[in-house]
Structure 1
Amino acid sequence: MSAAARLAWALAWLLALLGFGAWLSQSLTVSGDLRRFLPDARTPEQRLLLDELGEGPGSRLLMLALSGDTPQALAERSHALREALADDARFVFVANGADAGLDAIPDALRPYRYLLSPRLDGGTLDADALAEALDARLQDLGSPAADLVEPLVPSDPTLETLALAEAWRPATLPQSLHEAWFDRAGRQALLLLETRAAGFDPDGQREAVAAIRDAFDAVRGGSPAVLEIIGPGAFADEIGTRTAREAGWIGSVDTVGLVLLLLLAYRSWRIPLLGVLPLASAGLAGLAALMLLFGDRVHGITLAFGFTLIGVVQDYPIHFFSHQHAGLSPWRNVRRLWPALATGVAATCIAYLTFLFSGVDGLRQLAVFTIVALATAALCTRWLLPALVDPAPRDVAASPRLLALWRRIERLPRPRIGLAVLALAALAVVALRPGAFWENDLSRLTPVPAPLLERDAQLRAELGAPDVRYVLTLQAADAEAALVASEALRPTLDTLVADGAIDGYDLAARYLPSVARQRARQRALPAPDALRAALDAAVVRSPFRPDAFEPFLEDVERARQAPPLRPGDLAGRPLAPRVGALLLEGEGHATALVSLTGLRDVAAVERAARAHGARLLDMKQASESLVADYRARILAALALAALALSATVWFALRALRRVLRVLLPMALTTLLVLAVLRGFGIELNLFHLVSLILAAGLGLDYALFFEHAGEDRDDQLRTLHAVLVCSAMTLLVFSLLALSSVPVLRAIGGTVALGVVFNFVLALLVARAPLGEYDADPEAAA
């Protein structure tokens, strides 16, 4: 095949990949839900934790702070911002201290106010109560509150609407200036929003944050006021923006660096083009497999980690390029390399295969992506690439510099005792270094800066937002039983508030009483004739017209005859997310949650909870137990992976000495990487462990090819060239990842970069054929 024909086929392959990639990009949805990288919950606390992480009330809250102007101007912007967002379907509620009144209760629920309000639990609508209410309304109509009260009087002379709105207000509120919430210093106007999107719905949270910023820009006008958004949704937006920004510059530097490195190594502009074809094919095949097996929603961490497999995938075409020379057919070249290449691919794929049985959806996705990508890259190198390469390129074995380097390497000693001492020293560091070995805190995996987390805690304290660590749980057979249990707990919770153990609490029964409680309130409502007689007697003592309160009579009768509200009846109404976040229904069970604010006495709350059959759940403790379970599964997978790697290498080489020469560098590298991480006081997290397998795969490839080169000087030089290029490219990629501010990427980058260095050095010292197996003089050996 002519050079022009080879180039045409390469461009056709590239165009096909670009078209396939464009189609995939339109169909693929990336998920940021970290719960996909958590194991299946095994305990009730862990199950609740996973629900709370993404669905709980604390995870949906956004806190806004307006500053940079006078208090009155800030209050005006606060009111304008609230009005702009109040009807936005992306928010369940928007509160700034000016939400008492008609807006507090949905229109559809107002006839139910007598079933939802606690004021009738100890009273009745008799003539004396109505007369007292009408006297109070006369005073209200002559007060500054007349504009608020007047529309309510005909249908609600007892103002149950406002009483219910007051009952639904947060237990603790910030100070109010100009009818808006402000911080204690009076310099920042505060707003509290609850998003409809779940906490781990990055797209929904990003849309909500963007809507807030757009609304603020529209209402700011010429004011110098600035907006600050704090909360899980804002953090998710921050993480997404930061990750995209870092991925952009890291990817750009990687691309330029790799192209320059390939040009320098092979002195041909065609090599970068040909080298990218197996890599792109591998990535797209991995994505297609994920979409086929897991649907169109792929986790972002799977993609981030999966595409770092460039460190392994790139090795296959590079070994092929480095070994190609005049007089050797490309097809014969790839057949000679295939045993070593296929062994490395098979061993790494078998290692990742263990993650399919880890019970973790994210790791299953990672395993599928990795296995399909590695296999695709190897098959492309074996069956497609030989037809496209120049059959007589410059022979890298003829490089004087490479030969000089190899001669220096040959003079390196065989440090058998030294390696044993090094292994013992590394083992001592791993075992004896003080400090925690494992990182169990899920929050440490977030790239959110510490000052923002501190600001989150500060605003939650100002606004009385729910505590995100502790929550009370009540287990019951169904939703009704859970609501009844919650109502029984309320007096105890009120006592805890009075004693200062907590500042306040929130629970579903606050918004939706049990059916039993609603029916009791219905029975307290008078029949139509009795109510009309009581109202007539009350109106006689007032200046109101006798026919002014017909809407009130109709509403009471509707409440008396209405079926009690149940959780399902709230669907599509503003109260549904509030109740749904605090009342979790499953098959054959329900869990009522009580969110707490200002928790000061954990022991007192725990004692009170136990006395009523409730439990105080410590989210931090539950998350640590979940991580520990996850780690146990990862370690089991690692153990199986090590056995699989060893078995594959043994099956391929069938000689103990050769097997040890290949496996020893990889094993010692793993120990050295752990020692370095521990030596610098780095607590190991789950992504360090997963990265060790990737590093092991790299080491296996280096050792296999050094061992495969045998005693032939030219093959040794070509292998050295290939491994130098592979390791330099991989080191560049993962060193840049190690500089990332995203903890997951930093853990992967640092671990694999260390592995590259140690694997390269140890493969040279251990895996290359000993001097005694061939003539020590390379020229004589030739």
Structure 2
Amino acid sequence: MSASRRLVLALLWLAALALLAAFIAPRVQLSGDLRKFMPAPQTPAQKLLIDELGEGPGSRLLLLALSGESAETLAVQSQALQARLTAKPATGETPFKLVANGADLGLDAIPEHLRPYRYLLSPTLDTQRFDAERFRAELDARVQDLGSPAAAMIEPLLPSDPTLETLKLAEAWQPANAPQRLHGVWFDRAGREALLAVETHAAGFDPEGQQAAVDAINAAFAAVKGDTKSRLTLTGPGAFSVEIGGRTAREASLIGTIDSLVFVLLLWVAYRSWKAPLLGGLPLASAGLIGLGAVALCFDGVHGITIAFGFTLIGVVQDYPIHLFSHQRAGVSPWASARALWPTLGTGVASTCIAYATFLVSGVDGLQQLAVFTVVGLATAALATRFLLPALIDPAPRDAADSRWLARAWERLARWPRLGASGGLVVAALALAVVVFAPGAFWQNDLARLTPVPPAALARDAQLRSELGAPDVRYVIALQADDSEHALQASERLLPALQRLRDEGVVDGFDLAARYLPSIATQRARQSHLPAPDELQAALRTALQGSAFNDDAFDDFLADVARAREATPLSPRDLAGTPLAASIEGLLLAREGHATALVALSGLQDPGAVARVAQAHGAQLLDLKQASESLVAEYRERVLWALALAAVLLAAAVWFALRSPRRVLRVLAPMTLTTLLILAVLRALGVELNLFHLVSLILAAGLGLDYALFFDHAGDERAEQLRTLHAVIVCSLTTLLVFALLAASSIPVLRAIGGTVALGVAFNFVLALLIVRAPVREPRDAVA
């Protein structure tokens, strides 16, 4: 085939990839929901943890601190910032459900349409009655209030609320451990930072929604800051996810750029041709696009981890064209070279695909996505190398076997002692001893250890949570019921016991939905305590005798009470769109067929005492940290079972291809020893193994199998051994560099993958030479 026809075919391939990319791009729905990489929860604590991770208010909470100026200036800026963040934009909806800074005490604390319900929501009528004596005391107090500095706030309330029940409710609904208020807004204990708490509509792991929220906050702060020296601190899961996403994208872009440059440089040096890097990239691009398209077709959304890790795995397919390039030589057509390599290449690809296909039975959506991406991508790259790439290769390239430096390198390597069965057993025993007896924890169960958020940022977040009186993020009391009404009733029965625990210092504070919305049963009981209109009017008329108020001053109050007597009690859905809804929805989780009422705790001193009280009232104290660790342990168990199944299937695939016990053992030995050596090195360095180490072990095993199969394929013919050595050196160098860069990443997940696979590349290369390499067969005339 002429050079011009090969160029046309390459351009057609590129055009097909561009069309495929244009077709796939709009169908890829990216997801950042970590629940996709978790097994199905089993225990109540696990179910609550999974709900909280994705949708709970804890994941939506952003904490803001303004500093750098006087308290008066910061208070003004806090007010202005709250006004900007709550203002509805001209187009679209505000990204925030709630913006609190302590300044909402007063008329705006309770929406206008809910104010007639104040006597159903307030506990006042549980212990007091509306009679003439009570009204007279209240009216005397109002006269004094009107002569005080608070008159401007109280006077508008009086016609409809002479007992100031609205303000009592607003005060009661302030956070249980709210920070101090200076100049009308929240401040830290030192009085140097103005504090705000913001709840977003977007879940904490919705990267686009959280990015929009963070951008809106930064833009609003820039507008209110003016020329002052104020500084904004922004923390919380959403802020961290935005920062992590940006840093991950920057590091991935840098590593990808360096990897691409090294790939181009290495292939250009190795094959002395500018075409080799371009042609070698075509199977890689095909694998990535078709793998991504397969995931988009099979699943509702594509997880970001699937793409990041999947493309890392797919990067191994660069080995396929390298083997073809290195074995190409004059006098043998590229098609013939591809046919000769195919049994070996196909065995390696099939074995690796089988290993990853075991994740399809893991029951974890994220692992299933990863399996589809990898299997489809590897198969695509292999088929493209076998059936498309030969048409584009120069039929008369340099023969790697003619390289003088490669011949000298092979002569030195040939002097290395071979590692026999006894030597292999010794290495395996030593590695196992290190794995078993190395000090320190073996597994890493703490999900927080996988976060790349700097410790200083986490400490700052913890400090702001403490200042704002945010509840404990580890412990929560849960009450299960058939519906929201029964859950609220159970919460009310628990309330006296919680108050005793607070009085005894067992907890500093607590929060629950019944604090804001009593059960319907309680509201009906309070309705029954409201006096009839004529009775109420008579009591009020008696109290007004001799007072400073006119007889008709409180007609609005009489109308409100009359409405409250006849009103249908409030349910959670009646609070939609109000500040109360934001307070309740995180503490009352209603699902089809059941509901869970939560009690958020702060300053928990004695979990055992709280657990006993909760159990006595039909509730349960949940330890979310323990739940996360048990969930990780169950996830790991599934991965380990998948690994065991993968090992069996991989060995079966190699046996089917080679049909020789001796060859099968020799090919599998480097991969097996490498796995043990990787674990030994990680344990000796004190690294606690996580799930990404385990998944990376499969990738390292696939590389080892690839190297061993090709050295076995080379046999004892010197020229073929040189070509194989050339291919494996180029493959291992490109792979080693990219994963060494990943090992230096600041992202723990990338660091775990990079370190594991980089060790695997080095060990697999050396062990394949020591175990699989055959002695060179001397020519017959030389023997004679």
| Shorter-chain TM band | over 0.9
**Closer, same or farther: CA 373–779 of 1 in aligned 2, 3 Å:** farther
Does the Cα contact within 8 Å between 2:284 and 2:315 map onto a contact in 1? no
Residue of structure 2 equivalent to 1:349: 353
- Does the 8 A contact of 1:310 with 1:730 survive in 2? no
Which residues of structure 2 form unaligned runs of 5+?
89-93
Which residue number corresponds to residue 665 of structure 2? Answer: 660
Please list, as runs of the form range in 1=range in 2, the aligned pairs for 1:228-627 lying within 5 A after superposition.
228-295=233-300, 297-416=301-420, 417-627=422-632
Aligned partner of 2:329: which letter? H
Paired residues of 1:282 and 1:373 also in contact (CA < 8 A): yes
The alignment's TM-score, normalised by the length of structure 2, stands at: 0.96
Tell me how far apart the structure 2 counterparts of residues 274 and 778 of structure 1 sit (CA, whole Å). 40
Partners of 1:69 and 1:225 within 8 A in 2: yes
How far the C-alpha of 1:780 sits from its partner, in A, is 5.2
> Deviations for 1:453-488, whole angstroms, at most 9, x for unmatched residues?
122221111110011111111112222111111001
Cα displacement string for residues 190-248 of structure 1 (whole angstroms, at most 9, x for unaligned residues): 22222222222232222222211111101001110100012112111111111111112
Residue of structure 2 equivalent to 1:64: 64
Alignment of structure 1 residues 67-106 onto 2, 5 Å: 67-87=67-87, 89-106=94-111
Shift of 1:779: 10
Q: Distance in 2 between matches of 1:424 and 1:205?
A: 50
> Hey, what's the Cα distance between the residues in 2 that align with 1:53 and 1:680?
32
Superposition deviation, residue 124 in structure 1 = 2.5
- Map 1:11-160 to 2 at 5 A: 11-87=11-87, 89-160=94-165
Contact kept? 2:75, 2:194, Cα under 8 Å: yes
Over residues 96-140 of structure 1, what are the superposed CA-to-partner deviations in whole Å (9 max), with x where a residue is unaligned?
222201222223322222211122211232233233323322222
| Cα distance in 2, alignment partners of residues 509 and 587 from structure 1 | 20
1:682 to 684, 687, 703: 687
- Shift in CA distance, 377/449, structure 1 to aligned 2, threshold 3 Å: same
Determine which of 755, 758, 762 is the counterpart of 1:757: 762
Q: What is the letter of the counterpart of residue 351 of structure 1?
A: A
C-alpha distance after superposition, 1:20-63 (max 9, x if no partner): 32443343232222221111112222111111223334332221
| CA deviations over 1:421-471 (Å, ceiling 9, x no partner) | 222111110010111100010111111111111222211111100111111
Contact 2:64 2:235 in 1 (8 A): yes
CA–CA distance in 2 between the matches of 1:107 and 1:208? 28
1:69 counterpart SS class: coil
> In the alignment, residue 34 of structure 2 is paired with which amino acid?
L
Shift of 1:578: 2.6
Post-superposition offset of 1:73: 1.4
In the other structure, the counterpart of 1:642 is: 647
> How many residue pairs end up in the alignment?
778
- Residue of structure 1 in register with 2:91 after alignment: none
CA distance, structure 2, for counterparts of residue 106 and residue 274 of structure 1: 67
Q: 1:541 to 1:265 in 2, by over 3 A?
A: farther
1:703-756: CA deviation from partner (whole Å, max 9, x where unpaired)? 111111112222211111111111111111111111111111111111011101
Between the aligned partners of 1:476 and 1:780, the Cα distance in structure 2 is: 88
SS of corresponding position for 2:398:
coil
Whole-Å Cα distance in 2 between the matches of residues 765 and 710 of structure 1? 14
Q: Secondary structure at the match of 1:309?
A: helix
Residues 779 and 596 of structure 1: CA distance in aligned 2, closer, same or farther (over 3 Å): farther
* Contact in 2 for aligned 1:471/1:618 (Cα 8 Å): yes
Deviation at 1:778, TM superposition (A): 11
Contact kept, 8 Å, 1:713 with 1:778, in 2: the verdict is no
- For residues 26 and 259 of structure 1, the distance between their equivalents in structure 2, rounded to whole angstroms, comes to 30
Asked whether the equivalents of residues 202 and 237 of structure 1 are also in contact (C-alpha less than 8 Å), the reply is: yes
* Cα RMSD (Å): 1.8
* Alpha-carbon distance in 1 for matches of 2:635, 2:419: 38
- Whole-Å separation in 2 of the counterparts to 1:147 and 1:24: 62
- TM-score w.r.t. the length of structure 1 is 0.97
Q: In structure 2, what is the Cα distance between the partners aligned to 1:85 and 1:548?
A: 38
Structure 1 contact 71–186 (Cα < 8 Å) conserved: yes
Distance change in 2, residues 1:501/1:687 (3 Å): same
Q: One-letter code of the match for 2:406?
A: L
**Contact kept in structure 1, 2:34 and 2:54, CA below 8 Å:** no
SS in 1 for 2:50: helix
Change (3 A) 1:575 1:12: farther
Query: What is the distance in 1 between the residues matched to 2:716 and 2:282?
Result: 32
What's the secondary structure of 1:629's corresponding residue? helix
Corresponding letter in the other structure for 2:65: A
CA-CA distance at 1:5 after TM superposition? 1.9
- Counterpart code for 1:692: L
Distance in 2 between residues matched to 1:386 and 1:714, nearest whole Å: 21
* 1:95–1:262 CA distance, 2 compared to 1 (3 A): same
**AA at the equivalent of 1:80:** A
Give, in whole Å, the separation in 2 of the partners of 1:233 and 1:452: 13
Q: Distance in 2 between matches of 1:267 and 1:135?
A: 99
Q: Is the 2:314–2:378 contact (alpha carbons within 8 Å) kept by the matching residues of 1?
A: no
Tell me if the contact between 1:334 and 1:382 (Cα under 8 Å) persists in the aligned partners: yes
Partners of 1:699 and 1:763 within 8 A in 2: yes
Q: Deviations over 1:481-505 (max 9, x none)?
A: 1111100111111111112211111
Q: Distance in 2 between matches of 1:563 and 1:180?
A: 35
Distance 1:313 1:778 in 2: 39
Kept in 1: contact 2:287–2:314 (CA 8 A): no
Aligned partners of 1:195 and 1:208 also within 8 Å: yes
- Stretch of structure 1 that moved more, 427-436 or 703-712: 703-712
Query: Equivalents in 2 of 1:284, 1:331: separation in Å?
Result: 25
SS in 1 for 2:66: strand
Q: Deviations over 1:625-666 (max 9, x none)?
A: 111111111110000000010000000000011101110000
Report % sequence identity.
67
Letter paired with 1:63: L
Extract unaligned runs of 5+ from structure 1. none
Match of 2:739 among 713, 734, 742: 734
Provide the secondary structure at the position in 1 that maps to 2:586. Answer: helix
Structure 1: distance between partners of 2:472 and 2:80: 29
Partner residue of 1:745?
A: 750
Assess if the C-alpha contact under 8 Å between 1:92 and 1:196 holds in 2. Answer: yes
Which 10-residue stretch deviates more, 374-383 or 560-569? 560-569
Q: What are the Cα deviations for residues 360-412 of structure 1, in whole angstroms up to 9, with x where unaligned?
A: 11101100100110111111111111111111112111111111111212222
Q: Which amino acid aligns with 1:406?
A: W
The letter for the 2-side match of 1:724 is: I
Q: Summarize the Cα distance change of 1:452–1:435 in structure 2 as closer, same or farther, 3 Å threshold.
A: same
